[in-house]
């Protein structure tokens, strides 16, 4: 291939990839306006994206702070119960009358039950109730002809619900009739 042919071939390639476009002044101004609109939308997008990222980071921090300090008020309500238990321990060591010790422990038990109720914890009913596998776990059975089948006769470990949701099923003994 001669040098002249090479140059002509090269020019052909350039011409095929680059075309000259002619626009009227109105078309050029409209295209320029559209480019300006695009730049404005892109700028809004970048700002919105930055705002979104900042909001996401702030919410993650607030969530972490909430998780860290969420139980603070719960603990503050529970501290008096702990104080009463410590006081009861001191009196038990010195007690000569166990009736007063029993009354003190009963008062603490009532205080704990009130605390649990206030935070939405409810004890599951057991003894005398019909066995419900959604609320109870039968860990023992008792044979009896004179009692109704699947009635709970003893609570071995209490069960609890938190605002209606099962936290722990009650472990119970139920009646199984003998044939």
Domain ranges for the chain: 51-119, 121-179
pLDDT at residue 85 is higher than 80? yes
Question: What is the C-alpha end-to-end distance of the chain, expressed in Å?
Answer: 110
Q: Which of the four pLDDT bands, split at 50, 70 and 90, describes residue 1?
A: low
pTM here is 0.57
Which of the pair, 64 or 71, is modelled with greater confidence? 64
pLDDT at residue 30 is higher than 60? yes
Looking at domain 121-179, its CATH class is mainly beta
Q: Is residue 38 a contact partner of residue 46, using CB atoms and an 8 Å limit?
A: no
The per-residue pLDDT of the chain, averaged, comes to 86
Mean pLDDT of 144-149: 82
The Cα–Cα gap between 154 and 24 comes to 95
pLDDT at residue 67 is higher than 90? no
């Amino acid at each position: 291939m001669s040098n002249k042919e090479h140059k002509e071939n090269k020019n052909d390639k350039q011409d095929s990839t680059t075309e000259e476009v002619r626009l009227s002044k109105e078309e050029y101004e409209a295209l320029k306006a559209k480019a300006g609109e695009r730049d404005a939308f892109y700028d809004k997008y970048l700002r919105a994206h930055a705002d979104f990222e900042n909001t996401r980071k702030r919410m993650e921090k607030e969530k972490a702070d909430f998780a860290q300090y969420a139980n603070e008020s719960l603990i503050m309500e529970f501290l008096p119960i702990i104080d009463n238990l410590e006081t009861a321990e001191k009196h038990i060591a010195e007690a000569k009358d166990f009736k007063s010790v029993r009354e003190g422990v009963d008062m603490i038990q009532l205080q704990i039950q009130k605390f649990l109720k206030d935070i939405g914890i409810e004890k599951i009913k057991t003894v005398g109730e019909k066995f419900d596998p959604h609320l109870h776990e039968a860990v023992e059975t008792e044979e009896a002809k004179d009692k109704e089948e699947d009635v709970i006769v003893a609570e071995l470990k209490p069960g609890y619900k938190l605002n209606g949701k099962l936290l722990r099923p009650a472990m119970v003994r139920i009646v199984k009739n003998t044939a």
